Amino acid sequence: MGIVTRGFRGRRDREEVALPPGQYLERGFPVLSAGPTPQVAPGAWSFTITTETGGEHRWSWEELQRLLIEDVTVDLHCVTKWSKLGTHWRGVSLDVLLDGVATTAPYAMAHSYGGYTTNLPLADLRDGQAWVAFEYEGQPLRPEHGGPARLLVPHLYFWKSAKWVRGLELMPTDQPGFWERAGYHDYGDPWREQRYAGD
């Protein structure tokens, strides 16, 4: 794994942090979008989980806000090689949203307003590993970063964290999403440097 020295002045000068292989430490928050930013007002936003048998579970913005909300601090790793450490988010755990959804489907496709998709094993969205996030660093999530709400799945490369998320389609078989069809790795574990198909 890569070891990077933080560039802070002063006593943190020699603090070393571990980054996944091939990654560098980013201070800013780059915007990476495959197309234009969809403008989705919270009142027009909803999140729908569709099961493999066609069952639908839908939450409006107001319904989402009434669920158990968590504050999470996570590291982000983009396949373009920047990592950002200790970012603060607020959102609803997928555990809460999947609670009561009857499914045996092993895969999920995240769908976004604007048409972006990305596939994940459903197990990677459970057990405190994924959120529908709507605040970043104490502010409503800005549209260019996926506001009003995005998926946050920080243990995988950041392309799996679908911005402007509008739902999950639970699938009996694995299907590639937008970047996965274009040659990105199906799973995308930054610690195993799974950037592209075949890695």
**In sequence order, what DSSP letters do the residues of 71-108 get, joined into one string?**
EEEEEEE-TTSEEEEEEEEEEEEHHHHHTT------EE
Dist. CA 69–CA 92, nearest whole Å: 5
Please, what is the minimum distance in Å from the beta carbon of residue 163 to ligand MTE? 3
The total of other beta-carbon atoms located within 10 Å of residue 154's CB is 22
**Which residue number has the CB closest to ligand MTE?**
116
Residue 77-116 contact track with Mo ion, rule CB under 5 A, x = bound? -xx-------------------------------------
Dist. CA 166–CA 149, nearest whole Å: 8
Stretch that binds ligand MTE, among 20-28, 49-57, 127-135, 160-168 (CB under 6 A): 160-168
Stretch that binds ligand MTE, among 8-16, 24-32, 93-101, 167-175 (CB under 6 A): 24-32
The verdict on 114 binding ligand MTE (CB under 6 A) reads: yes
Residue bearing tokens 């969205």: 125
Contacts with 159 (C-beta within 8 Å, 6 or more apart), sequence order:
32, 78, 79, 118, 179, 184, 188
Residue bearing tokens 């920047």: 82
Stretch that binds ligand MTE, among 31-39, 43-51, 61-69, 120-128 (CB under 6 A): 31-39
User: Binds 112, which of ligand MTE, Mo ion, none (CB < 5 to 8 A, cut-off by type)?
Assistant: ligand MTE
The verdict on 159 binding Mo ion (CB under 5 A) reads: yes
Q: Based on CB atoms, which residue is closest to Mo ion, 67 or 78? A: 78
